[in-house]
Amino acid sequence: MLFKQQAWLRQKLLVLGSLAVGSLLYLVTRVGSLDRLQPICPIEGRFGARGQAEFPLRALQFKRGLLHEFRKGNSSKEQVRLHDLVQQLPKAIIIGVRKGGTRALLEMLNLHPAVVKASQEIHFFDNDENYAKGIEWYRKKMPFSYPQQITIEKSPAYFITEEVPERIYKMNSSIKLLIIVREPTTRAISDYTQVLEGKERKNKTYYKFEKLAIDPNTCEVNTKYKAVRTSIYTKHLERWLKYFPIEQFHIVDGDRLITEPLPELQLVEKFLNLPPRISQYNLYFNATRGFYCLRFNIIFNKCLAGSKGRIHPEVDPSVITKLRKFFHPFNQKFYQITGRTLNWP
């Protein structure tokens, strides 16, 4: 009996404790008391010569509280400083590469308080119909943010679509461009796996990877196969370099983002002139998923959807060897142009 009472008391205390912590967090995120909080770590100079003082901490901390509610339509005008929120054109775009880890990169960058992501792939520059709707249409697709924050969107089809570099250049010739790449053969298999899953969902049969990647007549690599062509990174990059200098690109190692995301993200923070605010706290390895997941704070965390991190089909090792040999010279050129050596086989 005594034991039961003690258990009851313990349970009540636990509930009361959770309520108290919950209320405190509620107040901290909803009320202006945020202004009195200290920054987690010192904020260094960013956004040009005028420096950090211009970047209101309040804007950073409100990002996932009020802005989130605003997007969901849950908050009143008093809570959200509506007049400060704007839909801004992106200052950086993740232009590709498909299956390189573009979603993981976008979501992880969004952990940074000064970054606001466009959740959907907008496909403005690669889709003629969308492009014809004009830049205002594009801007209105962007999330609300504070002027000091930067908007980032990702549409991996941009990297391989002929017209895109010129179109982006016309919008903003000094935009920052992020390309996340993976070892080309692995990326091609990942690409194939995604298409295969789509076919299976529709109860359709599909060719084996080997049959698509190798031309049965010549027994050489089939360069007409899109998954192979997309992995010839240097060919696509060369088209972009007709419009943008190499300094405007940053290459993210997608294989490393899987196993060791923080250093890759820190390089991106530097490239974007953002103060280093993403920390190991924001990233935790989820053994069940087999990937790093995201932690925004003590309450909110998330892993990427199951469509990210599919199990690849087994591929004939001789085909893998052939593909790796095929990609090798293109990779060397890619390292040379970008200045980033990735040690792919």
* Interaction of residue 103 with ligand A3P, rule CB under 6 A: yes
Burial string for 271-290 (b: 16+ CB within 10 Å, else e) reads bbebbebbeeebbeeeeeee
Which of 102, 151, 185, 231 touches ligand A3P (CB under 6 A)? 102
Q: In the structure encoding, which two tokens stand for residue 299, read together?
A: 């309450």
190 annotated as a binding-site residue: yes
Could you tell me which residues come within 8 angstroms of residue 212 by beta carbon, excluding any fewer than 6 positions away? Answer: 192, 222, 225, 227
| Phi, psi angle pair for 130, to nearest 5° | -65, -45
Among 99, 117, 154, 322, the active-site one is 99
d(CA 29, CA 23): 10
DSSP single-letter state for residue 262: H
Distance in Å, CB of 255 to ligand A3P, minimum: 9
Give the footprint of ligand A3P on residues 187-206 (CB under 6 A): 190
* DSSP per-residue string spanning 154-223: E-GGGGG-TTHHHHHHHH-TT-EEEEEE--HHHHHHHHHHHHHHHHHHTT-----HHHHHB-TTT-SB-T
Give the footprint of ligand A3P on residues 296-335 (CB under 6 A): 304, 308-310
100 annotated as a binding-site residue: yes
Which of 99, 112, 117, 250 touches ligand A3P (CB under 6 A)? 99
d(CA 266, CA 109): 10
292 annotated as a binding-site residue: yes
Using CB under 6 A, count the residues that bind ligand A3P: 17
Position 246: which residue type? I
* Interaction of residue 262 with ligand A3P, rule CB under 6 A: no
Nearer to ligand A3P by Cβ, of 61 and 282: the residue is 282
Q: In the structure encoding, which two tokens stand for residue 320, read together?
A: 């893998």
96 annotated as a binding-site residue: no
Nearer to ligand A3P by Cβ, of 67 and 105: the residue is 105
99 noted as active-site residue? yes
187 annotated as a binding-site residue: no
* Interaction of residue 155 with ligand A3P, rule CB under 6 A: no
Annotated binding site for 3'-phosphoadenylyl sulfate: 99-103, 182, 190, 292, 308-312
**Binding stretches for ligand A3P (CB under 6 A):** 98-104, 156, 190, 257-258, 291-292, 304, 308-310
Catalytic residues: 99
